[in-house]
Structure formats: C-alpha cells, structure tokens
Amino acid sequence: MAGFGDALREEREKQGLTLEQVEEATKIRKIYINALEQEEFDILPPRVYASGFVKRYATFLSLDPEPFVEEFKRLAYSDADEDKEEEVLVQREKEVRNRMTERFPVRNVVIAVLFLVIVIWAGNQLVAYLADQGTEPVPEEPAPITQPVEEDKSPVEEEEEEEEETPAPAEGLEMDIRTLQDQECWLEVIVDGKQEYSGLMARGEKKSFKAEKSIFIKAGNAGGINITMNGKKLPPLGEVGQVEEKEYTVENIGDN
C-alpha cells in the first residue's frame, strides 16, 4: 500500500471528507489527524493515545485498523522507545498508588470503619433500651370498693313515689278525622269556640285538630268519616248521608 500517511489522506479525499468533518465525527483534534497524514509523529500524544487515534481514524474510513496500527508503531516508535514508555507508565502507576496511600493510609481507613461500626452498634442498643423502657406497663392502682348504701324509706315516701309514678291523664284533645276512600264529607270543626275548618273533605283526606277543652263537629255525611281521639278510634258519628253534629270535651271524652 502507499505510505502510512498518504494512505489515510488518499482515502479521506476519496470519500470527499475534510479534516474538519473527520474531527467532528471521530472527536480527534484536527492537528493530530493532519500529523498522522503528514507522518509528523513528534507532535502526537503518548503512544497509547496516538495508537488509539490511528485505530479510530482507520475504522472511520472503513479501513482495516490493525495494519495501520502496526505500521504506525513501526514508524513512530523504536523498541527502546516502547520500553521507555512502558517504564514511564509503570512509574506513573506507582506514583498514583503511593499518593493514594499517603492521602488515605490503610490503617486510618480500617480505624474509621471500626469506629463507624461501633457507633452504629451503640446507637442500635440505645434505641432498643429506650423502646423497652417506653413499653413497660404502668401498674394500675386498684379502685376502692364502694359498698352500696341502702336507704330506709318510710311508708309515706313509698306512697309518694307510687303517686309520682302513676301517669297523669293526658291534658287536652287531639282529634284526627279521615274520610273513607269512597266517601266525601262536608265538615265544620270548632275548636275551643273558634272555627278551625269549614269545607268539603275529599275522599281519603285527613284533618287533625288540637284543643284544650272542646271540639265541636258538624258533618254532612256522618257515616263517611272515621274519628280518632287521643289515639283511640271513636264509634261512627252517624250513617252515610246523614247530617250529624257532636261536641267532644275533656270531661266527656271517656264516655265516647
């Protein structure tokens, strides 16, 4: 093949690529690309990096990179240079390890780790101790036993209690009037001397009234209504179609 540098340059120009395009695609600085093509190896970085540039550039141009890498090493470096470079790399690695050791001695690292383990263990023990102290049940004091005190009641007091427990009769009147489902009824209702209602009740209609003393009823269809007084259903006021009237009072409610 043509010379090392000429082969790379010719292939690049054949593909119509500029140095700037190769730099953008391979991330290799243009100055190093030009140095490879011109075989100006003295401006290249150390051998390891420069060999990587050659492999990357040849691969980008779709060339077999291995022959170019070997040719580059033969042209750019002698065996003495290779031995010297390896020696320099080894020396650099030793220096890096020594600096790391000086900055972070192994003994100090071990001591720090042990200290951290002890702190964590002590913290866990303290937390467990406090948790045990907080969960211990507090003994409860027994409540004093109080003996029930029985009070002697006199016969008079017992009679008074019995009288109080006897429910008093309901005061006033509460009346519900409902027409039958198939009957209408003209109705007039006077509560405690005051007219509360006068009109025609429709079928199944219900009216409620409350009085302190009396309720007077006049029905145009006495048999067409049902009357309930204080929760108790009363006898029919009369026959169907019959006009009847009646006054209900607190005194005579028990007679109905």
| Cα–Cα dist 228/248, whole Å | 12
Within-domain flag for 237: yes
Provide the β-strand partners of residue 86: none
- Position 166 scores a pLDDT of 46
Which two tokens mark 82?
A: 């290779």
Within-domain flag for 30: yes
193 with 233: CB under 8 angstroms?
no
Distance between alpha carbon 231 and the CA centroid of its chain, in Å? 56
> H or E element: which one contains 70?
helix 65-76
Within-domain flag for 123: no
Q: Report the number of distinct structural domains present in the chain.
A: 2
CATH number at residue 18: 1.10.260.40
Which candidate, 123, 122, 100, 120, places its Cα nearest to that of 112?
Answer: 120
Among 28, 55, 77, identify where a domain stops: 77
Within-domain flag for 204: yes
Across the beta sheet with 214-219, the strand order is 194-201, 185-191, 214-219, 244-249
Among 54, 77, 100, identify where a domain stops: 77
pLDDT in tens, the chain (256 residues): 568 999 999 999 999 999 999 999 999 999 999 999 999 999 999 999 999 999 999 999 999 999 999 999 999 987 555 555 556 555 766 774 766 555 546 576 467 768 887 878 787 888 677 766 655 555 566 555 555 555 555 544 555 555 555 444 457 889 898 999 899 999 899 999 999 999 999 999 999 999 999 999 999 999 999 999 899 998 998 999 899 999 989 888 777 7
Condensed to tens digits (0 to 9), the pLDDT of residues 8-22 reads: 999 999 999 999 999
Among 49, 77, 105, identify where a domain stops: 77
Query: What domain range includes position 235?
Result: 173-255
Which candidate, 71, 42, 40, places its Cα nearest to that of 54?
Answer: 71
- Position 94 scores a pLDDT of 73
Within-domain flag for 44: yes
The DSSP string of 73-100 is HHHH--HHHHHHHHHHHHHHHHHHHHHH
- How much is the pTM? 0.35
Provide the β-strand partners of residue 209: 175
Condensed to tens digits (0 to 9), the pLDDT of residues 172-200 reads: 889 898 999 899 999 899 999 999 999 99
